[in-house]
Amino acid sequence: MLDANFWQDKVTSANIIKEKKKFENLVNSISDTKKKLNDLDDLYQLAIKENNQDIQTEIFENVKSLEKIVKKNEILCFLSNDTDTLDCYIEIHAGAGGTESQDWANMLRRMYLRWSDNKEFKSQLISEHKGDEAGIKSSIIKVEGDYVFGWLKKESGIHRLVRISPFDSGARRHTSFASVWVYPVIDESIKVEILDKDLRIDTYRSSGAGGQHVNTTDSAVRVTHLPTKIVVQCQNERSQHKNKETCMNMLKARLYDFELKKKEAEVQNFGENKSEIGWGHQIRSYILQPYRLVKDNRTNYENTNPDKVLDGYIDDFLEKSLYQTK
């Protein structure tokens, strides 16, 4: 920052300042916590000498508060990758099974939107293809906030639901699957080269809400990257130009994520990333019948209150997955 040319590149300088502030906040929080803990220890020793139970009880409560802060800082230390601080896209697709899986995909989307609201993050619907009777066939949402991608990066995979179907007149138990894919929203400092000759751009009429205009103009845009077969689409704006711009940003993010996963596969020698999240390789099961349980198959962490989990309270699952080093 003391370099004379530091402010010449606004994007780079802004990122450095942002990173500096992040580390400063973490260091200051740790220092402040240590100071408060020492003060509480001195006060505790005095309370023991005077046999003051009220003060001791108050100290224990303060220690619990400090413990939460320490845990939060510990998690931030796990979110140390370059992309962890970025916003993210969440792409959800219903599996085979028609209405059942489409309704389950919609439940998952609601879960992530509720999680975003609970964290006071900003969320935006990018694309949606509604189900034939209920739910969604696919959807893409964008979530903006501190460390969003770091929090959600391990949610990519297959999510399995077991319940008594509300769409089955025989009230039979059904198993449904939906896939979730989380990838970062890259900023201007990350350069991704995209050649025009590698793109196929299609326009079509939006199927979602938006009034008469959406249903009568080809405002929705689908972009296919021919070398990788990656497809992105956007229909949330009325302007075809804005939808195309969003698609290009998503494509850059997908290509960046694609290259990251390819490098990880080469280093760790576990093959294509897609095989990890293929059907039959679910990362989490949500069981509503015949008993009630949500279980993460990677960490073995369980929660017996699926209603709360589906209402967006998934921090315990996210934390356990971050602590896992595998």
DSSP string spanning 70-88? HHHHHHHHH--STTTTS-E
Residues 6+ apart with CB under 8 A from 231: 222, 223, 224, 225
94-98, 179-183, 268-272: the lowest-pLDDT one: 268-272
Does a structural domain hold residue 30?
yes
Closest CA to 139 of 126, 148, 158: 126
198: pLDDT strictly greater than 80: yes
Closest CA to 220 of 246, 186, 249: 246
Does a structural domain hold residue 265?
no
How does pLDDT run across 257-286, given as a tens digit for each residue? Answer: 888 777 666 544 433 444 433 455 789 999
Domain ranges, residue 40 = 10-78
Question: Which pLDDT score is estimated for 93?
Answer: 94
Question: Which pLDDT score is estimated for 318?
Answer: 94
Does a structural domain hold residue 311?
no
Buried b (16+ CB within 10 A) or exposed e, 133-155: eebbbbbbbbbeeebbbbbbbbb
Distance CA 186, CA 5 (A): 25
Q: If you average pLDDT over every residue of the chain, what do you get? A: 84
Does a structural domain hold residue 245?
no
Instruction: State how far Cα 93 lies from the chain centre.
Output: 15
Does a structural domain hold residue 20?
yes
Most confident region among 101-110, 160-169, 203-212, 238-247 by mean pLDDT = 101-110
Sign (positive or negative) of CA dihedral 100, 103, 109, 114: negative
Does a structural domain hold residue 74?
yes
Does a structural domain hold residue 47?
yes
Buried b (16+ CB within 10 A) or exposed e, 169-197: eeeeebbbbbbbbbbbbbeeeeeeeeeee
64-78, 91-105, 212-226, 249-263: the lowest-pLDDT one: 212-226
Number of domains comprising the chain: 1
Its pTM stands at 0.74
Question: Which pLDDT score is estimated for 324?
Answer: 77
Does a structural domain hold residue 19?
yes
Q: Is the peptide bond before 166 cis (omega within 30 degrees of 0)?
A: no
Pairing of strands 136-144, 88-94: antiparallel
Answer yes or no: are the C-beta atoms of 286 and 310 closer than 8 Å.
yes
Question: Which pLDDT score is estimated for 214?
Answer: 45
Closest CA to 139 of 234, 43, 52: 234
